Amino acid sequence: MFNYFKNRRRRRLRSQPFPDSWLAILERNAPIHAHLPASDQRELEGHIQIFLAEKHFEGCNGLVMNDEIKVTIAAQACLPLLHRQTDYYPRLITILVYPSAYVARATEHIGGGIVLEGESHRLGEAWQSGVVVLSWDDVRRGASDINNGQNVVLHEFAHQLDQQDGAADGAPILESRGQYTTWARVLGAEYDKLRRDSALGRPTVLDDYGATDPAEFFAVATECFFEKPHQLRRKHPELYDQLKTYYRQDPQSFVSTRS
């Protein structure tokens, strides 16, 4: 019964006209919207309407929340949801937005029972407790250039997809056992290759932050898939095909070849 009312509410939200003021925000801050086919633009707009109705946004360190911030984030967060059955990041409750990079406490286990504690500057993070944290300056920077392969919203919401099964392990929920087998083989090999390339200082289309662990590899690969699809397809065809199947999109069709 709950799903019935939830789905009815979502259909009602999607059927409402997309506000002109929100469209102007997309034109200013989310140029990827203009590159999508018209049908995908309408689908993305419907997702944005539902996302904004269901998620709570909170400004931090004096940042005053407004539609520009919320619509810009929602547009990028909903891009990976196109063409798929989705429950709109069901574990996610709140998006915390800082004006710029923020300082967070960090702990690192280095073995032998030794734990290092300190502070780190961060652009974003995704918690398993239903929170995504973002830097507004970096949200805008990532959205404005759809070819640089660096997008903090895509990165953190890839973590949300990864964590939907309760584990941050670089393996989101897939449709079949066979897909998990192929996913593990391809992404495992690509992760190992990135670790080797990063250790040797070799240039790679994938940001070497993806060598941190499998969860970060999936998030980095997602950024690259949507923003450097031509390069990723050329250099890592099997990885590209896995992400194309999972996301049910082919960004080569709407992202330019500019490197």
pLDDT of residue 52: 98
Element (H, E) at 145: none
Distance CA 235, CA 258 (A): 15
Q: Quick one: pLDDT band at residue 104, thresholds 50, 70, 90?
A: low
Are 221 and 253 within one domain?
Answer: yes
User: Between these two residues, 236 and 118, which has the higher pLDDT value?
Assistant: 236
Q: 175: domain CATH number?
A: 3.40.390.10
Both 6 and 102 in a single domain?
yes
Question: What whole-number distance in Å separates Cα of residue 245 and Cα of residue 250?
Answer: 9
Residue 136 contacts by C-beta under 8 Å, 6 or more apart in sequence? 63, 69, 97, 98, 99, 100
CATH of the domain at 13: 1.10.472.150
Q: How far apart are CA 228 and CA 243, in angstroms?
A: 13
Whether 196 and 160 map to the same domain: the answer is no
**Which residue spans within 37-140 are E strands per DSSP?**
56-59, 94-98, 102-111, 114-122, 124-127, 131-135
Of 256 and 22, more confident: 22
* 196 and 106 co-located in one domain: no
Mean pLDDT of the chain: 90
What is residue 103's predicted lDDT score, i.e. its pLDDT? Answer: 63
Other residues' Cβ atoms within 10 Å of the Cβ of residue 1: 5
Q: Which residue has the tokens 């300082």?
A: 103
Average of pLDDT values for 39-67?
97
115 and 181 fall within a common domain: no
- The tens digit of pLDDT for each residue in 208-236 reads 999 999 999 999 999 999 999 999 999 99
Residues 175 and 139 in one domain: no
| Of 12-21, 41-50, 116-125, the least confident | 116-125
The pTM (predicted TM-score) of the whole model is 0.90
User: Predicted confidence band at 110 (pLDDT cuts at 50, 70, 90)?
Assistant: very low
Judge if 160 and 182 occupy the same domain.
Answer: no
- Provide the 3-class DSSP secondary structure of residue 120: strand
Across 117-145, average pLDDT: 80
> What residues does 109 pair with on adjacent strands?
115
Q: Are residues 140 and 14 in the same domain?
A: yes
Average pLDDT over residues 108-126: 52
Among 165, 182, 211, the domain-final residue is: 165
The domain of 23 spans 1-165
Q: Are residues 128 and 214 in the same domain?
A: no
Backbone angles phi, psi at 126, to 5 degrees: -125, 120
User: Please, what is the end-to-end C-alpha distance for the chain in angstroms?
Assistant: 49
What does the alpha-carbon distance between residue 224 and residue 170 come to, in Å, rounded to a whole number? 15
What is the token pair recorded at 61? 């360190």
One domain for residues 150 and 173 = no
Q: Provide the number of structural domains found in the chain.
A: 2
